[in-house]
Structure 1
């Protein structure tokens, strides 16, 4: 393939802090109350005006999204777009090269896995395109956690306290949606410039069958590597295509991932002693100072506490992500290893990149409580490699026929037992074929969980 230029200059980001004044300096841009309560002095007769000014702030920042759910996604989208700044359209030459890379990768993958191609088209996304095409999936990931947190602490209050704090509870719920949306917008804005493909974090974020590569991020990555840019692009295209083979032809997989996130959310518990202390010491005057309100929301009293249910859900999610990433690494290495000499080095680079995580992934982990990183990806890749050597690619990929056939977390630590069961006939090829056929028939009757 020709070593075509990828990426473009996104231009300078807008100066987000330009024109800001000190939060305590009166009616500057950071004072949504217009200086109505100078010095933060609170008067009970002004309580109605506080609610009025908060309502004006809500309607001014997120008219359509306020009250629509536990997260203000309109605000999240606005902040993400603002952090991205100006982006130029992807050159036609770059889009054409990405199409060629995906087609070539699909041809090579055909020789190492019985799963057919899952891509229907290949596209080049800007960071803004990534936001637009993945937001619906982020809603499905964030809503269960945010809704659980936003309703649990209010419902746990005594009935008489709920009656007395009715207006305040509604206001705090809306403020929580804005705070969650604000943090999510910042995280997605950063992630949109870091991700390399639509499946870079292991989840099917984009539309089904659409293989999407991010030229700007790929250009930045390629600048620090010794491999030719065209080989880097082909390698990433193969990973994207391999992910889509799984997500398109294993009908239960995307649902299992989302169910694990929902199970994590349902296990959320909040320490009510912190809320009781907050209610005792709460000063309504804090509502007049945005900086104090932000500090209030960040005190951690509404943050969930780890529970056994969450631990179990998190283990299932991490194991599934590790199995996906390990399988992708195995089939991509088999398909490209003899054709692109740098495949092993690129695979190790991406593994370390996922293991350490970037600032946006850390922000998302703090926000939702989940780290979308496969902690045992190396062990999973080793298991798939050994399984391929022992039973071949057909039987290996037959394991994806049903979730009960997949290796468990303990199998990743001790793969020999799982491979022995496969070789010994505890899971026969006919059983696998039957499971695959049943799963495919069931998938044909249902709907794809992705937008």
Structure 2
């Protein structure tokens, strides 16, 4: 019986990544694949990346997004389409005057192509994606053992950049898929453009309208109502934008590396993968091989974000339903079509799931709409919209479990003391930022 070669045996060198999440990636069974040495391995990684700043290579992400969006026709909106969108939004904003205490938030109105949507929403997507990407990349690159980093030499410092470049492809794929489906700039529930900038995408609205049995004019007007309602809410609630983005930052801050869990995932997904093929490695990483398990802190942040997004969408749903009563017979059918689109895994759910690990639960949206409608019926429009004065006043997950019971028995909005009123006024005068998602804690 022959002896097993020791770790110093040149015929069977010990895998320096043994016991780490990178063991399977850089050679199962204790040896490096195909006789490659560390310099060759890191050379493969370096070949996948180009110089860039920040946690993600946004040039790669945007190029990938544009290419994905271009897989279907993307004509520039005609002047006639732009005029139709402007007229629909103007009428929608007029209808909303009687349904909410918030004034119009629209400054400009336009029609976008898919490519224009990608370009004009990039700045906000960076705010949403980069905190998560930065925490994930730094955590993964930091998992490399010190002795391995020393053996790798200068190339070890580029591991995080390589992973960031590959994650950029995943981000680009997600944004490109979203660009092929999104109907307006507010379609995902988060303000993706500059405040007051309303936009709809006629190219995507046309296929959405097919088979609904509703006129194209009604479809356009209904979607314009939803866009105008989103604009009013975010303009009337200055802290809401930061509240949502802050929850994503809280999620990123909670990233924790579970070496065993990552290693098990790597080993499972590495089966049959050619590590010498850069495209194969890219597909592997885009498939979520390095997706990190959620920590308790992340789960809490995602719950806050999920509830806040459900409350936004539920409020829009309720306000639009109120505005279309006795005005648009087809509104009920369109409302259900929008809800089914979300329930079937629409663009909002898929993008948040891919980029930050969040899936919106349609049940929460319906519960939120019921809650807002019930509160308005019992206490009026001012009381319903007054809940948005502070994140501390927003309904909780428990409230959404019993939407008809939210503030049950209250006859009027809770009165603020003079000190409370002065404090809220100072916040608005100071810029209306309000407390962040993290400050609101479990009340959100």
Deviates more, 1:348-357 or 1:123-132: 348-357
- In the aligned structure 1, how far is the partner of 2:75 from the partner of 2:286? 36
Aligned twin of 1:345: 333
CA contact (8 A) 2:371 2:403 kept: yes
CA contact (8 A) 1:270 1:304 kept: yes
TM-score, normalised by the number of residues in structure 2: 0.81
Other structure's SS at 1:313 match: helix
Q: Does 1:318 align with 2:303?
A: no
- In the aligned structure 2, how far is the partner of 1:340 from the partner of 1:334? 11
Aligned twin of 2:357: 369
Other structure's SS at 2:125 match: helix
- In the aligned structure 1, how far is the partner of 2:284 from the partner of 2:85? 47
Q: CA separation of 1:396/1:43 partners in 2, compared to 1, >3 Å: closer, same or farther?
A: closer
Q: CA RMSD in A?
A: 3.0
Aligned twin of 1:393: 381
Select 1:69's aligned residue among 54, 57, 64: 54
Give runs of aligned pairs for residues 148-227 of structure 1, distance below 5 A: 148-227=135-214
Give runs of aligned pairs for residues 51-70 of structure 1, distance below 5 A: 55=46, 58-59=49-50, 66-70=51-55
Aligned twin of 1:101: 88
Deviates more, 1:286-295 or 1:401-410: 286-295
Select 1:118's aligned residue among 79, 86, 105: 105
How far does residue 349 in structure 1 lie from its aligned partner after superposition? 1.3
How far does residue 164 in structure 1 lie from its aligned partner after superposition? 2.9
Other structure's SS at 1:122 match: strand
How many corresponding residue pairs? 396
How far does residue 272 in structure 1 lie from its aligned partner after superposition? 1.3
Give runs of aligned pairs for residues 297-446 of structure 1, distance below 5 A: 297=285, 302-358=290-346, 361-362=349-350, 364-372=352-360, 375-420=363-408, 422-423=410-411, 427-428=414-415, 437-443=425-431
- In the aligned structure 1, how far is the partner of 2:290 from the partner of 2:423? 44
CA contact (8 A) 2:44 2:278 kept: no
- In the aligned structure 2, how far is the partner of 1:387 from the partner of 1:435? 25
CA contact (8 A) 2:189 2:313 kept: yes
Other structure's SS at 1:67 match: coil
CA contact (8 A) 2:105 2:232 kept: yes
CA contact (8 A) 1:187 1:360 kept: no
- In the aligned structure 2, how far is the partner of 1:166 from the partner of 1:387? 63
Runs of 4+ in 1 over 4 A off after TM superposition: 47-57, 274-279, 298-301, 372-375, 429-436
Aligned twin of 1:13: none
- In the aligned structure 1, how far is the partner of 2:322 from the partner of 2:287? 50
Q: Does 1:82 align with 2:67?
A: yes
